[in-house]
Amino acid sequence: MPEGDTVWLTAHRLRRALAGHVLVRFDLRVPRHATADLTGHTVLDVVSRGKHLLTRVEGGVTLHSHLRMDGSWQVYPAGERWRGGPAHQIRAVLGTRADTAVGYRLPVLELMRTADEGTAVGHLGPDLLGPDWDPGTAAAHLTADPARPLGEALLDQRNLAGIGNVYRSELAFLARVSPWLPVGELPDGIPERLVATAHRLLEANKTRTERRTTSGPRAQAPRLYVYGREGLPCLRCGAPIRRADEPDQPAARGAGRARPVYWCPVCQPDPTY
């Protein structure tokens, strides 16, 4: 599931393959940009901003993409068979003489002036993996609406950018609070602890292909405390982990699709469940 760490790693791989190289192939398979052609232009950089990807090309042009739940970018050496999915799922092809980047199932793909990138990402809060990371501002944003449930506030990219469904459940568990607790009822120091833990975990996972939030010996231990572990014993107290499905909030920018929430009913008591 793409979250801020996954998107950062994707940007790193795309930058390594494309930046500083001339495009010999440029194909956007979306009606709005089907005729766009940037072949002959040099890719300047690829950066992540929260869950957004910005591929900057000479001439002041940026290709903005977002993975949401199912999208991915794959990089293949020139001439190698593409394996990211069937051809009808391909939305973008960016090729240099050495490598080809192929975007699959991208729900957001648009060309814009680099000077206008703010129209795509200007609404985001501090980026957990970006140069603008500011834990004080992130904690203030997280608690700005006291009645808002914690899990919903964590997913809102306007508060802090990069947290997705996995980290929503894991962070609440690590803080020993319910995902449905109103942020105004969080104990003193917990908002600051939450954003600090989020930053630490995303930094630790940004170069890994498998996300891990647990600590200690890794050979046999689960990688995650609660996410995806419905019915299995809590790693703290042994109680069965529970799951509830909730619809996306509009602020999560993926509304209309249910997302699971995982929690321990003993370590994170909540009268709602």
Quote the pLDDT of residue 248: 62
Catalytic residue IDs:
2-3, 51, 259
**pLDDT of residue 266 exceeding 80:** yes
Least confident of 191-205, 237-251, 257-271: 237-251
Q: What share of the chain is helix, strand, coil (3-state, %, to 5)?
A: 25, 25, 50
**pLDDT of residue 221 exceeding 90:** no
**pLDDT of residue 251 exceeding 60:** no
Compare 94 and 217 and report the one with higher pLDDT: 94
Question: Distance between CA 55 and CA 47 in Å, rounded?
Answer: 7
Q: How many helices (H) and strands (E) does the chain have?
A: 6, 10
Note the pLDDT tens digit of each residue in 118-145: 999 999 999 999 999 999 999 999 999 9
- Segment holding 28, helix H or strand E: strand 25-28
Q: What is the mean pLDDT of residues 68-92?
A: 95
Quote the pLDDT of residue 247: 74
Per-residue pLDDT band for 254 (boundaries 50, 70, 90) equals very low
Quote the pLDDT of residue 270: 79
**pLDDT of residue 212 exceeding 90:** yes
Q: How far apart are the first and last CA of the chain?
A: 26
Note the pLDDT tens digit of each residue in 168-208: 999 999 999 999 999 999 999 999 999 999 999 999 999 99
Note the pLDDT tens digit of each residue in 25-62: 999 999 999 999 999 999 999 999 999 999 999 999 99
Under a CB-based contact definition with an 8 Å cutoff, are residues 21 and 98 in contact?
A: yes
Per-residue pLDDT band for 272 (boundaries 50, 70, 90) equals confident
pTM of the model: 0.92
Quote the pLDDT of residue 43: 98
What is the C-alpha radius of gyration for the chain, rounded to an integer number of angstroms? Answer: 20
**pLDDT of residue 256 exceeding 60:** no
Quote the pLDDT of residue 255: 45
Average pLDDT, the chain: 93
Quote the pLDDT of residue 58: 97
